[in-house]
Structure 1
Amino acid sequence: MTDFDMGIGALTEQLVTTTRNGDHDYVADVLARLAANSSRARASALLRELVGTSARMIRARIQEKSGALFTFDVTTEHDEPVEVEVLPPGPRSALRALSASLNRDAGDLEIHSDLATQGTPAEVVAVLMQCLLWTLELQNDRASTVRFSCY
């Protein structure tokens, strides 16, 4: 079975495990093939799965109150605020997809996942890698405050 024959959940798990084990060539190859696919449907589905996994890990860290609304503060590495609108379109849409997943908004999740995977193949690889790294960071860091890196 090739990575394109497996379901998105299995592919996501394979990519997370492979990245953690350091086989970056495999991950780069799979992401490049997803980004080169003209329909990008699997790239969008992978992004939804990655942000869904991240959202579940974030929710598991907090005492979620009914009706809670999740938001993000975007800052530089020096904790200087950054306007979300100045982020490149792919990462901005990926962040909005994560917010939609956290807030259980399936419609916005789908829209922003599709938008995040509409750039050039290099941009799509970069945004998928960013979401993959967010998932790994959440697995490795159990702090109640969530901080993501950005490329």
Structure 2
Amino acid sequence: MTDNRDPSPAPDLSVRQFTGDLIDAATAGDYDDVAEALAVLARAGSPRVPAGVVGDLVGRCAAAVRGHHGPGADTVFTVVLEDEQGERAEVERLPPGPRAAMRALLAALNHDRPSRDIQVELATRGTPADIVGVLTHLLVWLAELAEPSAAALSCFTD
């Protein structure tokens, strides 16, 4: 999947293609390709590269959520976090990257582009392992949202 393609921050089309290939590999269960793509992003050397992919994944997640809830200009999206036992949990329990990715998704859903952009930047500020964690969360969310009965998104702290 990543043989001769490196996600360049310049053309938006190459980021979308890279993201599409990443999603296709994850959906097909080609986990070696997914791991290779995540490694490419983790060692990109510039936060702009993973931020482009994170932004694209956030947009795709937002489109999937809207697909479940239909269009509505007056709709305001919020989240409720629960722990493994179904008890309410504080958002601060999430690692900073996934927490920012969740906030970016909410901002995208609520049509707040400046906040979405800030949260995407925050989501990709960590170490390479942190960035892989953010991308993994977004891929899991996208897979969960592909289910017709999607009602919750998984978050993990380790």
TM-score by length of 1: 0.91
Q: Name the residue aligned to 1:97.
A: 104
Query: What are structure 1's unaligned runs of at least 5 residues?
Result: none
TM-score by length of 2: 0.87
Whether contact under 8 Å (2:107, 2:115) holds in the other structure is yes
CA distance in 2, matches of 1:60, 1:147: 14
Aligned-pair distance for 1:106?
0.9
- Asked whether 1:21 is paired with 2:23, we answer no
Give the percent of matched residue pairs that are identical in Structure 1 and Structure 2: 37
- Asked whether 1:119 is paired with 2:119, we answer no
What per-residue deviation string (whole Å, max 9, x for no partner) do you get for residues 94-132 of structure 1? Answer: 100110111111111111111111111111111111101
Instruction: Number of aligned residue pairs: give it.
Output: 149
Q: Name the residue aligned to 2:155.
A: 150
1:19-98 matches, cutoff 5 A: 19-98=26-105
Higher relative contact order (CA 8 A, sep 6+): 1
Question: Superposition RMSD on alpha carbons, in Å?
Answer: 1.6
Query: What are structure 2's unaligned runs of at least 5 residues?
Result: 8-12
List, as ranges, runs of 4+ consecutive aligned residues in structure 1 with deviation greater than 2 Å: 63-67
CA distance in 2, matches of 1:2, 1:129: 23
